[in-house]
């Protein structure tokens, strides 16, 4: 009789334990699946933070209702040691289960920045101010070891910081972001040059310099091969390029937005009104269309072009035709083109 009573007691105890475990499991499941984030929240996990600390910080921020339940949920899933450091962004309606998945998968918050075509490296530096400390940026763009690592035969990065949209995290270093731009340039230029049948007599650096001038002369992609052809034709004939953008680049901070006649006499090596041939290097960072244009220039004999003041240009083969076009399109503005 006593044995029977004992067995019943043990059985009831086991059933009670199973029931308690079932209730606890159901409650934990409900906790894990219940939406807990009320508004978009950025949350930081520092290197070395333990599961317990992360759980407590989440509870303090009001992102989970119980640090103990959150920690237990992660342990049950075998993820207690897989939380990754970084900056995370949780959206309204997310659950503790979602949060655990993000923290253990390392799905950190990303930022994006778009580098416009034709920006100079200094303008890019201003654009990256939130990511790259100015002094660090200025040192990197002239660091020969850093530059030459990418096969750039120049004294700075001008022309090689490829214009595109880049994604990065809060922990991305300045050198990493610049490396991504330089790698993108290398990949893009390789794709373009692979299609060239007859190698150019110009070096890659000279072609990038040419592309930067094309980029500054027009934003019209259809005209870029024509602009490139004009530049090549003038170089072939030993004519000065007489490009306003190169003069402006050489003036640097002295340029106030208005190019004057006296500026065309400036002694800068970038002044293509005074010096024949190409300037010392690129005057901006050209996009793919400009790079493609100098690798595949139009087959025309144009030597001049002038703005129509509508975003397009009129092209001429002789000075007489060009002067007529200047009178037609620029007389009222009092400004001559090429």
pLDDT in tens, 307-327: 988 889 999 999 999 999 888
Alpha helix stretches (DSSP H) within the chain: 2-33, 51-60, 67-76, 96-105, 121-127, 134-140, 144-148, 174-193, 204-217, 224-236, 244-251, 288-295, 319-329
What does the alpha-carbon distance between residue 54 and residue 33 come to, in Å, rounded to a whole number?
19
pTM confidence score: 0.83
Task: Give 3-state DSSP helix, strand, coil % of the chain, rounded to 5.
Answer: 50, 10, 45
In eight-state DSSP terms, residue 4 is H
For 40-49, 74-83, 97-106, which range has the lowest pLDDT when averaged over its residues? Answer: 74-83
Q: Which fold has domain 32-108?
A: Dna Ligase; domain 1 (3.30.1490)
pLDDT at 232 over 60: yes
Mind listing the pLDDT tens digit for each residue in 126-163? 999 988 999 999 999 999 999 999 989 899 999 999 99
Mind listing the pLDDT tens digit for each residue in 115-134? 999 999 999 999 999 889 99
Q: How many CB atoms lie within 10 A of CB 225?
A: 20
What does the alpha-carbon distance between residue 329 and residue 312 come to, in Å, rounded to a whole number?
11
What does the alpha-carbon distance between residue 89 and residue 293 come to, in Å, rounded to a whole number?
42
> Among residues 207, 217, 202, 195, which one has the least CA distance to residue 117?
217
Return the domain boundaries, the chain.
32-108, 111-191, 198-329
């Amino acid at each position: 009789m006593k044995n029977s009573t004992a067995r019943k007691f043990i059985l009831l105890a086991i059933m009670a334990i199973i029931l308690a475990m079932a209730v606890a499991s159901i409650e934990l499941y409900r906790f894990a699946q219940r939406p807990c984030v009320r508004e978009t929240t950025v949350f930081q996990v520092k290197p070395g933070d333990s599961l317990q600390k992360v759980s407590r910080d989440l509870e303090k921020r009001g992102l989970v209702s119980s640090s103990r339940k959150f920690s237990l949920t992660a342990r049950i899933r075998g993820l207690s040691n897989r939380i990754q450091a970084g900056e995370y962004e949780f959206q309204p309606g997310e659950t503790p289960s979602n949060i655990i998945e993000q923290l253990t998968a390392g799905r950190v918050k990303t930022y994006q920045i778009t580098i416009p075509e034709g920006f100079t490296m200094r303008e890019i530096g201003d654009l990256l101010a939130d990511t790259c400390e100015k002094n660090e940026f200025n040192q990197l763009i002239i660091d020969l070891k850093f530059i030459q690592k990418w096969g750039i035969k120049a004294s700075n990065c001008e022309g090689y910081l490829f214009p595109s949209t880049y994604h990065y995290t809060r922990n991305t270093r300045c050198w990493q972001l610049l490396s991504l731009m330089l790698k993108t340039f290398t990949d893009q230029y390789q794709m373009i040059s692979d299609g060239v049948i007859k190698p150019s007599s110009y070096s890659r650096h000279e072609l990038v310099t040419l592309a930067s001038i094309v980029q500054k002369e027009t934003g019209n992609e259809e005209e870029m091969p024509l602009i490139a052809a004009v530049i090549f034709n003038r170089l072939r004939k030993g004519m000065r390029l007489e490009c306003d953008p190169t003069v402006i680049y050489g003036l640097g901070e002295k340029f106030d937005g208005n190019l004057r006649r006296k500026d065309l006499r400036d002694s800068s090596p970038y002044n293509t009104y005074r010096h024949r041939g190409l300037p010392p290097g690129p005057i901006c960072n050209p996009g793919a269309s400009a790079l493609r244009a100098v690798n595949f220039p139009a087959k025309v004999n144009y030597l001049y072009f002038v703005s129509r003041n509508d975003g397009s240009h009129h092209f001429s083969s002789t000075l007489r035709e060009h002067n007529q076009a200047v009178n037609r399109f620029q007389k009222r503005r009092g400004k001559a083109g090429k």
